[in-house]
Structure 1
Amino acid sequence: MRTSRRFRWLKAKLAGALVLLTLVAWGSWQEPSLHEFTPVTEFVTLTAPDLQPGAAAEQLQARALALPGVTACAVRPEKQLLTLAYRPAELSAGQLQQRLNLSALPQPELSAEAAARQCPVPPGYVQALERLRFAFNLRRLFVRL
Protein backbone atom coordinates (compact mmCIF):
# COMPACT_ATOMS: atom_id res chain seq x y z
CA MET A 1 0.00 0.00 0.00
CA ARG A 2 2.76 2.41 0.94
CA THR A 3 4.82 1.61 -2.15
CA SER A 4 1.88 2.33 -4.46
CA ARG A 5 1.57 5.85 -2.95
CA ARG A 6 5.26 6.44 -3.44
CA PHE A 7 5.00 5.13 -6.97
CA ARG A 8 2.07 7.47 -7.73
CA TRP A 9 3.94 10.41 -6.21
CA LEU A 10 7.02 9.55 -8.26
CA LYS A 11 4.92 9.31 -11.43
CA ALA A 12 3.35 12.73 -10.69
CA LYS A 13 6.80 14.27 -10.15
CA LEU A 14 8.08 12.72 -13.36
CA ALA A 15 5.05 13.95 -15.33
CA GLY A 16 5.48 17.47 -13.92
CA ALA A 17 9.17 17.49 -14.77
CA LEU A 18 8.38 16.26 -18.29
CA VAL A 19 5.79 19.01 -18.78
CA LEU A 20 8.24 21.65 -17.49
CA LEU A 21 11.02 20.34 -19.73
CA THR A 22 8.66 20.38 -22.72
CA LEU A 23 7.65 23.99 -22.01
CA VAL A 24 11.28 25.09 -21.72
CA ALA A 25 12.16 23.31 -24.98
CA TRP A 26 9.16 24.89 -26.73
CA GLY A 27 10.00 28.35 -25.37
CA SER A 28 13.69 28.13 -26.19
CA TRP A 29 13.30 26.63 -29.66
CA GLN A 30 13.68 30.01 -31.37
CA GLU A 31 15.86 32.94 -30.45
CA PRO A 32 13.77 35.71 -28.83
CA SER A 33 12.94 38.79 -30.89
CA LEU A 34 14.26 42.09 -29.62
CA HIS A 35 10.74 43.57 -29.54
CA GLU A 36 9.90 41.18 -26.70
CA PHE A 37 12.38 42.98 -24.43
CA THR A 38 10.64 46.36 -24.72
CA PRO A 39 7.25 47.49 -23.44
CA VAL A 40 4.35 47.75 -25.89
CA THR A 41 4.09 51.14 -27.58
CA GLU A 42 1.05 52.42 -29.45
CA PHE A 43 0.43 55.52 -31.52
CA VAL A 44 -2.46 57.96 -31.59
CA THR A 45 -3.03 61.07 -33.72
CA LEU A 46 -4.99 63.87 -32.11
CA THR A 47 -6.51 66.94 -33.78
CA ALA A 48 -5.75 70.37 -32.32
CA PRO A 49 -8.06 72.75 -34.21
CA ASP A 50 -6.69 75.93 -32.61
CA LEU A 51 -3.01 75.03 -32.94
CA GLN A 52 -0.80 77.77 -34.37
CA PRO A 53 2.88 77.46 -35.35
CA GLY A 54 5.44 78.81 -32.94
CA ALA A 55 5.29 79.00 -29.16
CA ALA A 56 1.82 77.43 -28.87
CA ALA A 57 2.95 74.32 -30.76
CA GLU A 58 6.09 74.02 -28.65
CA GLN A 59 4.07 74.43 -25.46
CA LEU A 60 1.61 71.70 -26.51
CA GLN A 61 4.50 69.40 -27.38
CA ALA A 62 6.13 70.02 -23.99
CA ARG A 63 2.80 69.36 -22.19
CA ALA A 64 2.36 66.09 -24.09
CA LEU A 65 5.92 64.91 -23.41
CA ALA A 66 5.49 65.62 -19.70
CA LEU A 67 2.66 63.08 -19.42
CA PRO A 68 3.60 59.68 -17.94
CA GLY A 69 3.83 56.95 -20.54
CA VAL A 70 4.36 59.29 -23.52
CA THR A 71 7.61 58.34 -25.24
CA ALA A 72 7.55 60.59 -28.31
CA CYS A 73 5.56 63.48 -29.71
CA ALA A 74 5.38 65.05 -33.17
CA VAL A 75 3.50 68.28 -33.81
CA ARG A 76 2.27 69.37 -37.24
CA PRO A 77 0.90 72.88 -36.62
CA GLU A 78 0.18 73.53 -40.29
CA LYS A 79 -2.16 70.51 -40.35
CA GLN A 80 -3.19 70.97 -36.71
CA LEU A 81 -2.19 67.43 -35.74
CA LEU A 82 -0.37 65.94 -32.78
CA THR A 83 0.96 62.37 -33.02
CA LEU A 84 1.97 60.60 -29.83
CA ALA A 85 3.79 57.36 -29.08
CA TYR A 86 2.71 56.07 -25.67
CA ARG A 87 2.72 53.00 -23.47
CA PRO A 88 -0.86 51.78 -22.99
CA ALA A 89 0.07 50.09 -19.70
CA GLU A 90 0.73 53.52 -18.17
CA LEU A 91 -1.80 55.73 -19.98
CA SER A 92 -4.68 54.96 -22.34
CA ALA A 93 -5.58 56.88 -25.49
CA GLY A 94 -8.74 58.17 -23.82
CA GLN A 95 -6.76 59.51 -20.88
CA LEU A 96 -4.38 61.22 -23.30
CA GLN A 97 -7.32 62.92 -25.01
CA GLN A 98 -8.75 64.05 -21.67
CA ARG A 99 -5.48 65.40 -20.28
CA LEU A 100 -4.60 67.30 -23.46
CA ASN A 101 -8.21 68.31 -24.12
CA LEU A 102 -8.00 67.15 -27.75
CA SER A 103 -9.99 64.71 -29.88
CA ALA A 104 -8.70 61.72 -31.82
CA LEU A 105 -8.37 61.84 -35.56
CA PRO A 106 -11.26 59.85 -37.07
CA GLN A 107 -10.07 56.52 -38.41
CA PRO A 108 -11.41 55.24 -41.74
CA GLU A 109 -13.70 52.25 -41.57
CA LEU A 110 -12.29 48.88 -42.59
CA SER A 111 -13.37 47.61 -45.95
CA ALA A 112 -15.41 44.41 -46.12
CA GLU A 113 -12.38 42.52 -47.49
CA ALA A 114 -10.10 43.65 -44.65
CA ALA A 115 -12.73 42.83 -42.03
CA ALA A 116 -13.26 39.36 -43.53
CA ARG A 117 -9.54 38.47 -43.29
CA GLN A 118 -9.22 39.00 -39.56
CA CYS A 119 -7.80 36.29 -37.35
CA PRO A 120 -10.53 34.37 -35.51
CA VAL A 121 -8.39 34.16 -32.37
CA PRO A 122 -8.61 37.29 -30.18
CA PRO A 123 -5.32 39.24 -30.11
CA GLY A 124 -5.16 38.98 -26.32
CA TYR A 125 -4.87 35.20 -26.55
CA VAL A 126 -2.04 35.41 -29.08
CA GLN A 127 -0.18 37.96 -26.94
CA ALA A 128 -0.63 35.81 -23.83
CA LEU A 129 0.80 32.82 -25.69
CA GLU A 130 3.77 34.92 -26.87
CA ARG A 131 4.40 36.12 -23.29
CA LEU A 132 4.28 32.53 -22.01
CA ARG A 133 6.73 31.42 -24.68
CA PHE A 134 9.06 34.33 -23.81
CA ALA A 135 8.88 33.44 -20.11
CA PHE A 136 10.07 29.89 -20.81
CA ASN A 137 12.75 31.00 -23.30
CA LEU A 138 16.17 30.39 -21.72
CA ARG A 139 17.97 32.01 -24.65
CA ARG A 140 16.75 35.43 -23.49
CA LEU A 141 19.08 35.17 -20.50
CA PHE A 142 22.10 35.29 -22.83
CA VAL A 143 21.02 38.21 -25.05
CA ARG A 144 22.95 41.44 -24.63
CA LEU A 145 21.11 44.64 -25.44
Structure 2
Amino acid sequence: MSVLVWSSWEEPNLHEYAPPVEFITLNAPNLQPGPAARQLQMQAQALPGVTACALRADKQLLMLAFNPEQLTAEQICRKLALTALPAQAPDPTVRQCPVPPGYVMALERLRFALNLRRLFVVV
Protein backbone atom coordinates (compact mmCIF):
# COMPACT_ATOMS: atom_id res chain seq x y z
CA MET A 1 0.00 0.00 0.00
CA SER A 2 2.83 2.40 0.82
CA VAL A 3 4.36 1.84 -2.66
CA LEU A 4 1.07 2.89 -4.29
CA VAL A 5 0.88 5.97 -2.08
CA TRP A 6 4.50 6.84 -2.92
CA SER A 7 3.95 6.40 -6.66
CA SER A 8 0.67 8.34 -6.67
CA TRP A 9 1.74 11.15 -4.35
CA GLU A 10 2.41 13.60 -7.19
CA GLU A 11 0.65 14.07 -10.47
CA PRO A 12 2.86 12.69 -13.28
CA ASN A 13 4.80 15.14 -15.42
CA LEU A 14 3.81 15.42 -19.07
CA HIS A 15 7.30 14.39 -20.21
CA GLU A 16 6.69 10.95 -18.74
CA TYR A 17 4.08 10.28 -21.44
CA ALA A 18 6.61 10.91 -24.22
CA PRO A 19 8.85 8.16 -25.58
CA PRO A 20 12.57 8.31 -24.68
CA VAL A 21 14.87 10.38 -26.88
CA GLU A 22 18.60 10.14 -27.55
CA PHE A 23 20.83 12.50 -29.50
CA ILE A 24 23.58 11.81 -31.99
CA THR A 25 25.89 14.16 -33.87
CA LEU A 26 27.09 12.93 -37.25
CA ASN A 27 30.08 14.13 -39.23
CA ALA A 28 29.35 14.80 -42.92
CA PRO A 29 32.79 15.73 -44.32
CA ASN A 30 31.72 16.16 -47.96
CA LEU A 31 28.58 18.18 -47.27
CA GLN A 32 28.19 21.50 -49.07
CA PRO A 33 25.43 24.06 -48.40
CA GLY A 34 22.60 23.93 -50.91
CA PRO A 35 20.47 21.17 -52.41
CA ALA A 36 22.70 18.35 -51.18
CA ALA A 37 22.34 19.57 -47.59
CA ARG A 38 18.56 19.82 -47.89
CA GLN A 39 18.42 16.33 -49.40
CA LEU A 40 20.48 14.88 -46.53
CA GLN A 41 18.22 16.61 -43.99
CA MET A 42 15.07 15.25 -45.67
CA GLN A 43 16.62 11.77 -45.83
CA ALA A 44 17.45 11.90 -42.11
CA GLN A 45 13.98 13.17 -41.17
CA ALA A 46 12.39 10.32 -43.14
CA LEU A 47 14.04 7.66 -40.98
CA PRO A 48 11.58 5.95 -38.61
CA GLY A 49 12.08 7.09 -35.03
CA VAL A 50 13.80 10.38 -35.86
CA THR A 51 11.97 13.16 -34.03
CA ALA A 52 14.16 16.17 -34.88
CA CYS A 53 16.96 17.03 -37.25
CA ALA A 54 19.35 20.00 -37.28
CA LEU A 55 21.90 20.54 -40.03
CA ARG A 56 24.95 22.79 -39.97
CA ALA A 57 26.23 22.59 -43.54
CA ASP A 58 28.95 25.18 -42.88
CA LYS A 59 30.41 22.97 -40.11
CA GLN A 60 29.45 19.74 -41.87
CA LEU A 61 27.46 18.43 -38.91
CA LEU A 62 24.08 16.74 -38.63
CA MET A 63 22.42 16.37 -35.23
CA LEU A 64 19.48 14.03 -34.75
CA ALA A 65 17.07 13.33 -31.92
CA PHE A 66 15.70 9.81 -32.18
CA ASN A 67 13.71 7.20 -30.30
CA PRO A 68 16.15 4.41 -29.31
CA GLU A 69 13.31 1.88 -29.19
CA GLN A 70 12.74 2.27 -32.94
CA LEU A 71 16.23 3.05 -34.24
CA THR A 72 19.79 2.64 -32.96
CA ALA A 73 22.74 4.95 -33.50
CA GLU A 74 24.50 2.27 -35.56
CA GLN A 75 21.49 1.95 -37.86
CA ILE A 76 21.44 5.72 -38.38
CA CYS A 77 25.14 5.77 -39.28
CA ARG A 78 24.69 2.85 -41.66
CA LYS A 79 21.57 4.24 -43.40
CA LEU A 80 23.01 7.73 -43.86
CA ALA A 81 26.58 6.50 -44.55
CA LEU A 82 28.00 8.96 -42.00
CA THR A 83 30.17 8.58 -38.91
CA ALA A 84 29.15 9.62 -35.43
CA LEU A 85 31.26 12.10 -33.53
CA PRO A 86 32.57 10.59 -30.31
CA ALA A 87 30.77 11.76 -27.19
CA GLN A 88 32.85 13.58 -24.64
CA ALA A 89 33.76 11.52 -21.62
CA PRO A 90 32.64 12.99 -18.31
CA ASP A 91 35.27 14.79 -16.28
CA PRO A 92 36.40 12.37 -13.54
CA THR A 93 37.11 15.24 -11.13
CA VAL A 94 33.49 16.44 -11.18
CA ARG A 95 31.12 14.87 -8.65
CA GLN A 96 28.59 12.56 -10.25
CA CYS A 97 25.62 10.55 -9.08
CA PRO A 98 26.88 7.21 -7.71
CA VAL A 99 23.72 5.43 -8.88
CA PRO A 100 23.87 4.28 -12.52
CA PRO A 101 21.44 6.22 -14.77
CA GLY A 102 19.69 3.00 -15.80
CA TYR A 103 18.63 2.37 -12.21
CA VAL A 104 17.25 5.88 -11.82
CA MET A 105 15.28 5.57 -15.06
CA ALA A 106 13.93 2.15 -14.03
CA LEU A 107 12.75 3.58 -10.71
CA GLU A 108 11.04 6.49 -12.48
CA ARG A 109 9.32 4.11 -14.92
CA LEU A 110 8.10 1.98 -12.01
CA ARG A 111 6.75 5.05 -10.21
CA PHE A 112 4.95 6.17 -13.37
CA ALA A 113 3.50 2.69 -14.00
CA LEU A 114 2.10 2.48 -10.47
CA ASN A 115 0.84 6.07 -10.38
CA LEU A 116 -2.93 5.92 -10.16
CA ARG A 117 -3.30 9.65 -10.85
CA ARG A 118 -2.06 9.17 -14.42
CA LEU A 119 -5.31 7.40 -15.23
CA PHE A 120 -7.18 10.68 -14.78
CA VAL A 121 -4.82 12.95 -16.76
CA VAL A 122 -5.90 13.89 -20.26
CA VAL A 123 -2.96 14.44 -22.60
Post-superposition, which runs of at least 4 consecutive aligned residues in structure 1 deviate over 4 A?
Answer: none
2:119 aligns to what SS in structure 1? helix
Query: 2:108 — aligned with what?
Result: 130
User: Percent sequence identity over matched residues?
Assistant: 61
Q: Distance in 2 between matches of 1:133 and 1:92?
A: 26
Q: Report the 3-state secondary structure (helix = DSSP H, G, I; strand = E; otherwise coil) of the residue aligned with 2:33.
A: coil
1:140 aligns with 2:118: yes
Aligned equivalents of 1:39 and 1:83: distance in 2?
19
Post-superposition shift, 1:71? 0.8
Query: Deviations 1:17-48 (Å, cap 9, x if unpaired)?
Result: xxxx2222111011111111100111111010
The yes-or-no answer on 1:103 pairing with 2:83 is yes
Superposed CA RMSD: 1.3
What code does the residue aligned with 1:85 have?
Answer: A
Deviation at 1:129, TM superposition (A): 1.0
Q: What SS does structure 2 have at the residue aligned with 1:96?
A: helix
Cα shift at 1:94: 1.6
* Cα shift at 1:144: 2.0
Larger Rg: 1
Alignment counterpart, residue 94 of structure 1, candidates 66, 74, 94? 74
Answer yes or no: is 1:48 the counterpart of 2:9.
no
TM-score by length of 2: 0.92
**What is the SS of the residue equivalent to 1:112?**
coil
Distance 1:104 1:85 in 2: 13
Distance 1:109 1:134 in 2: 30
Gaps of 5+ in 1: 1-20
**Where does structure 2 lack aligned partners over 5 or more consecutive residues?**
none
1:118 aligns with 2:96: yes
